[in-house]
Amino acid sequence: MKIVQLEELRHFDPAKMRKNNIFESPRFACDLYCLEPGQSQIPHTHEGLDKVYVVLEGEGTFRVGSDESALEAGEAVMAEAGEVHGVANEGPDRLVCLVFLAPHPAPS
C-alpha cells in the first residue's frame, strides 16, 4: 500500500510549470501541478481524454473551451475530451492543482 503525502510531491521548477506524478496506470494519471507566479500551461487539446483540475492552493486562471475563469482553492473544473484547456498563474501566490487525466495520456 503506497501512501503518498502530497506535500512531499509539491515541487516547483523556476523555469516552467512542473507536473509531479502522484499515481498512474494505463487507465489514468494523477498529477500535482505546481506553478510559480507567471508560469502557465499553454492551452491545448487531448482527443479522447478528459482532464479534471482541482485547485489545492493559490489561484489560477483556467481556460476551458472559449471560457476563462479564475479558480481558487476548493474549486474544480473539467475539460472534456476535445475541449481546449489550459491554466495560468497570474500571481502573486504559488498555484498547486491536483489533476486527473483519463485515460493515461500517450507518452510524448
Q: Which residues bind its own copies (CB under 8 A)?
A: 1-7, 22-23, 25, 27-28, 30, 49-50, 52, 54, 62, 64-65, 67-69, 71, 74-78, 80-81, 98, 100, 102-103
Nearest approach, Cβ of residue 73 and its own copies (Å): 9
Name the residue nearer to its own copies (CB basis): 81 or 93: 81
Sign of the C-alpha dihedral, residues 80, 73, 14, 6?
negative
Burial of 106 (0-12, 13-18, 19+ CB in 10 A): exposed
